[in-house]
Amino acid sequence: MRRLTAALTASAVLVVGYAALDAADRVPGLLTTRPLPPPPPTETPGTRTLPLVPQPSLSTSVRMPLGPLAGERAAPSAAGMRTALADVLDLPALADSALVVRDGQSGEVLFDRGGDELRIPASTTKLLAAAAVGQVFAPDETLTTVVRQGEAADEIVLVAGGDSLLAPGAGDPDSVAGRAGLADLADQVAAALADSGIERVTLSVDESHAPGPNHAPTWGESFHGLGIVGTVAMLGLSSERAAANDPAPIDPVGSAAEALAALLEERGVSVSAVERDSPAAGPGDRPDETATATGTPAPSPRVLGSVESAPVRDQLALALTDSDNTLTEILARQAAFRDGAGTDFDEVGAWIVEQVAALGVDTDGATLADASGLSRENRVTAELLTEVLVLGYDGRHPVLRTALEGMPIAGLSGTLADRFITDREAPEPAAGRARAKTGTLTGANSLAGSVVDDDGRLLVFAGLVAGAPTEDARDALDRFVAALADCGCR
């Protein structure tokens, strides 16, 4: 029953995706306005509710984008799935591929070709990272950036608390990137210093939270310069995120500290120097934890200001939508650190596999050298990816569920915005109905996610393709998903 309820929720969410395309005149439909989005489902496992999504009325020229929500009688069959995929499986680009399809409501495997083969997952690795991070952070947990008193009254310390999405100005309560604002932090600190009559300070930075290397040894040397990934650090500005051909600063922590110093200067506080302070810390240590020689806790330093990030679950969703390699690595490292694991990239990768296995998923043979999927040394199976997807939709893992709801929508958002819409007048069946995580490395392409078929049944899928040119592989995977959307497969 839980799987059915979660699947109905996913179906309704995909209706919203199609409606958004319709309202933007990107697919045939009846909507001509942009209504407010429906309220989100609840986050209580087992009692999830459906948003109210009005269905368009029937038309003689345009069929319903989604059929009635499916029940058990609409369950697909393995035989029906083989028939639906027959033509797609002969595509040359899929000659060396692993493909798995499951019923999203029952978890039953409907199609499996090479699903147990270990392959390079590319960026679909982020699905496993999201599952692991979701075991450590509570659903509404945020990351705190603090400025505290130093050892002397005129010394202040900026404590890097893991938020790499700080707004350079005021925070925006409606945003994920930029929820916490550096200007808001500066306002608090300036006011606290004024109350103490302090006008001149030295600013240092405490980077003891989740320390680790900045770049993985298995990444390409050009990745940073191309904007594929930024420096993995526990503090940064939302305005300095890495993007294609727009690299992030080499030192995001120093950049944020200099920005805070400038904001304090604007508020009448003279900052004589910005110093780096990176005391060693073991796994699980917090930067503000101190103790006396007798082992009793020392008094906590005075907090001069603090700001809270968006919930980690929303940051994970953003990481999946944008395929943000840096953000994924930052969140995974913090989760591993908090859980007492090592923070080198391969240590975090091993920790992710352990966390996924703890969910009851078969991870036999899986190895990860990073959390984002940039490493060509990563190996997972298509079966593993679909098992994690089924878990994410069953309602028992709210952080993972929110992350999956952040996967790009076919033809509409993120890395799928320009896929499944080759003809704007006649979009492919999966447009607006599929959510999936893409993965692209030279010679290794992947796609894993969910789609609602013509019977309203939720299907989850994973495809890992080797050897084919990127464009051919993407086209073949898109046709694979379109075939799933276009069938009842009973």
Mean pLDDT computed over every residue of the chain: 84
14 versus 30: the higher-pLDDT residue is 14
Cβ burial, residue 256 (10 Å; 0-12/13-18/19+): buried
How large is the average pLDDT for residues 372-396?
95
Q: Is pLDDT of 51 > 50?
A: no
Hey, what are 284's tokens? 């699980």
Mean pLDDT of 7-21: 46
Name the more confident of 75 and 101: 101
Task: Return the pLDDT at 58.
Answer: 34
Q: What percent of the chain has pLDDT over 70?
A: 79
pLDDT, average across residues 129-147: 96
User: Residue 253 pLDDT > 80, yes or no?
Assistant: yes
pLDDT in the model for residue 276? 76
444 has pLDDT over 60: yes
Query: What is the pLDDT, as a whole number, of residue 15?
Result: 44
Q: Does 44 have pLDDT greater than 70?
A: no
Band the pLDDT of 429: cuts 50, 70, 90.
confident
Angstrom distance (rounded) from CA 23 to CA 112: 37
Percent of the chain with pLDDT over 90: 68
Mean pLDDT of 202-213: 96
* Separation of alpha carbons 197 and 149, rounded Å: 14
Q: Given this model, what pLDDT does residue 423 score?
A: 57
**98-102, 212-216, 410-414: least confidently modelled range:** 410-414
Band (pLDDT 50/70/90 cuts) for residue 194 is very high
Whether pLDDT at 333 is above 80: yes
Whole-angstrom Cα Rg for the chain: 24
Token couple for 259: 């920005």
- Least confident piece of the model among 2-16, 54-68, 230-244, 347-361: 54-68
pLDDT at 37 over 80: no
What are the pLDDT digits (tens) for 355-368?
Answer: 999 999 999 999 99
Residue 420 pLDDT: 86
Q: Contact 389/449 with Cβ under 8 angstroms? A: yes
| Confidence tier at 57 by pLDDT (50, 70, 90) | very low
Residues of the chain with CATH 3.50.80.20: 144-310
Residue 353's DSSP bridge partners are none
Predicted pLDDT at 422: 65
Angstrom distance (rounded) from CA 126 to CA 380: 12
Pairing of strands 434-441, 270-277: unpaired
Strands 97-103 and 458-466: antiparallel
The answer to whether 440 and 94 have CB atoms below 8 angstroms apart is no
pLDDT at residue 240 tops 70: yes
Q: Select the CATH number that applies to the domain covering 2-136+315-485 from these four: 3.40.630.10, 3.30.70.270, 3.40.710.10, 3.40.50.1980.
A: 3.40.710.10
Q: Which two tokens stand for residue 465?
A: 């393709």
Instruction: List the structure tokens of 311.
Output: 């919930």
- At 399 the three-state DSSP class reads helix
At residue 14, φ and ψ (nearest 5 deg) are: -70, -30
pLDDT value of residue 289: 42
Q: Directed axis angle between helix 382-393 and helix 2-23, to 10°?
A: 90
Predicted confidence (pLDDT) per residue in 284-312, tens digit: 344 444 444 445 566 678 999 999 999 99
Where do you find CATH 3.40.710.10 in the chain? 2-136+315-485
463, 447 contact by CB (below 8 A): yes
pLDDT at 105: 85
Tell me, what's the pLDDT at 33?
A: 37
**DSSP classification of residue 280:** -
Give the pLDDT of residue 73: 59
Please state which of the ranges 45-59, 134-148, 249-263, 360-374 shows the lowest mean pLDDT: 45-59
Q: What is the pLDDT of residues 98-136, one digit of tens each?
A: 999 999 888 999 999 999 999 999 999 999 999 999 999
Correct CATH for 144-310 of 3.40.50.12500, 3.50.80.20, 3.40.50.2300, 3.30.300.30:
3.50.80.20
Average pLDDT over residues 250-270: 97
How confident is the model over 52-77, as a mean pLDDT? Answer: 46
Stretch among 51-65, 212-226, 443-457 having the lowest mean pLDDT: 51-65
pLDDT of residue 130: 96
